[in-house]
Amino acid sequence: MLVADLASFKSAADRLSTTQPNISSRIATLESSLKTVLMERDAGSVRLTEKGHELLGHARNVLSSVDEFVEAANGEAAFDGAVRLGVNEMVVHTWLRDFMRVFKARFPNVVIELSVDLSSKLETDLAERNIDLAFQSGPFARKASSERCLGVYPIIWVASPSTGLANKKTVSAQDLSDFPILTHARRTRPYEDVAAHFARWPKLKTRLVPSSNLSACLQMAIDGYGVAALLAPMVEREIANGQLIQVDYPWTPTALNFAARYDQSKSSSVVQSAAEIAHQCATKYYDSFQSTFKQSSATRLTDKKAS
C-alpha cells in the first residue's frame, strides 16, 4: 500500500528501511500469486492499474482487520512498529509529555518518531506521508480526512518588565513600535496578522522580527530585546515568575486552533488511538489553562482599576 500511496518504489523502500529491488520483487510475487497486474511501472513513477485500484480498498480492510484481531487476541501491548509524529512548538511546551507517557503505557512496543516543525511544514509532510500524524495549528490549507480538536489558544503581548510598559495605563501602537516586534515566522497566520495590523500606521516604522523558533523568540523577550506576540500557554510560567509582563494592548492576533490530523483511510488503528489520546491529554490541559488564564486576566483587570 505504501507504493500505491507514495507512487514510488524508492520512497516505499526508504519508509520500510529496505531496498527498492526488495519492494519490487515482493510486488512482482504478489502479482504472480494473484495472476493480475497491480501496477504500471514507468521511468521514475508507479501507477495502479484498474484492478490495483479495485483491490487497494480490500487490502486496507484486511490490514484493519488484522489490527483488530491482534488487539482482541493480545491487547494493545501486542502492537509494535513506529508512529511518525509531527508537532509544533506550543505542543512541546505544554502537554506533549503527558501524551508520550499515556501512549507508552498503552503501546509499550510502539516507538514514536518525533519531529518538531512549523505547522505549515507539518501539513505538507502529512499530505506527502512523511509523517503519520500531526499536532498542528490552523488555518489548514489542505483537508485531512480525520481531525481531533486540541483546543483554541489566544496570542498575547508580553515584554520584559525593563521595558516599562507595565506602568502605562494605556498602551498604544506607538508604544509597541518603540521596540522590535517579536513574532512567529513569516507566512504564518500570527505574523500576517501582526504585519497587517501595524501596516495601518506606516509612519511608525515598525520593526518586525519573525522567528521560526518560538523558544528563541521567548528568550529574546525575556532579555528585553523586544515586545513579543506569543501563544499564552508558552509564557504562563514566565509571567508567573516575573520574567515577563503581559502588555495591555487592545488588539491581539487571531487565536490559533489546534488539531490532531491524519488520513483515516491510510492510518493504522495505533495512529487513530494516538489521535484520541492526544485529544484527551490536550482537553485536560486546556481546561486547566482556561481556568488559570481567566483568573489571571481578572486579577490584572482588578489591579489596573485599583491603580
For residues 100, 214, 248 and 294, what is the CA-based torsion angle, rounded to 10 degrees? 0
In this prediction, residue 295 has a pLDDT band, given cuts at 50, 70 and 90, of confident
| Least confident range of 43-52, 88-97, 154-163, 223-232 | 43-52
Residue 198 and residue 177 in contact, taking contact as beta carbons nearer than 8 Å? yes
- Per-residue pLDDT, averaged over 107-125, amounts to 94
- pLDDT bucket at 88, cuts 50 / 70 / 90: very high
Is the pTM higher than 0.95? The answer reads no
pLDDT at 57: 65
Q: For strand 181-184 and strand 155-159, is the pairing parallel, antiparallel, or unpaired?
A: unpaired
List the single range of 42-46, 77-81, 85-89, 284-288 with lowest mean pLDDT: 42-46
Residues 166 and 239 in one domain: yes
Domain that holds residue 123: 75-149+258-307
DSSP string, 251-271: --PPPEEEEEEE-GGG--HHH
Residues 52 and 136 in one domain: no
Domain C-terminal end among 209, 234, 254 = 254
Co-location of 32 and 85 in the same domain:
no
Q: What whole-number distance in Å separates Cα of residue 107 and Cα of residue 115?
A: 19
pLDDT in tens, 172-218: 999 999 999 999 999 999 999 999 999 999 999 899 999 999 999 99
Q: What are the cell numbers at 126?
A: 502529512
Residues 285 and 139 both lie in one domain: yes
Give CA 299 to chain center in angstroms: 32
Q: What is the pLDDT of residue 29?
A: 73
Of 58, 74, 90, the residue at which a domain comes to its end is 74
Same domain, 109 and 18: no
Cβ atoms 260, 134 nearer than 8 A: yes
The pLDDT of residue 49 is 75
Taking the C-alpha atoms of residue 255 and residue 246, their distance in angstroms, rounded to an integer, is 16
pLDDT at 7: 63
- Residue 140 shares a structural domain with residue 19: no
CATH number at residue 274: 3.40.190.10
**Other beta carbons less than 10 A from residue 120's beta carbon:** 17
Q: Supply the CATH number for residue 32's domain.
A: 1.10.10.10
Q: Rounded CA gap, 85 and 132, in Å?
A: 6
36 and 179 housed in the same domain:
no
pLDDT in tens, 245-286: 999 999 999 999 999 999 988 888 899 999 999 999 999 999
Pair (172, 298) in one structural domain? no
Question: What pLDDT does 11 receive?
Answer: 66
* Pair 238, 265 in one domain: no
Average pLDDT, the chain: 85
Same domain, 79 and 69: no
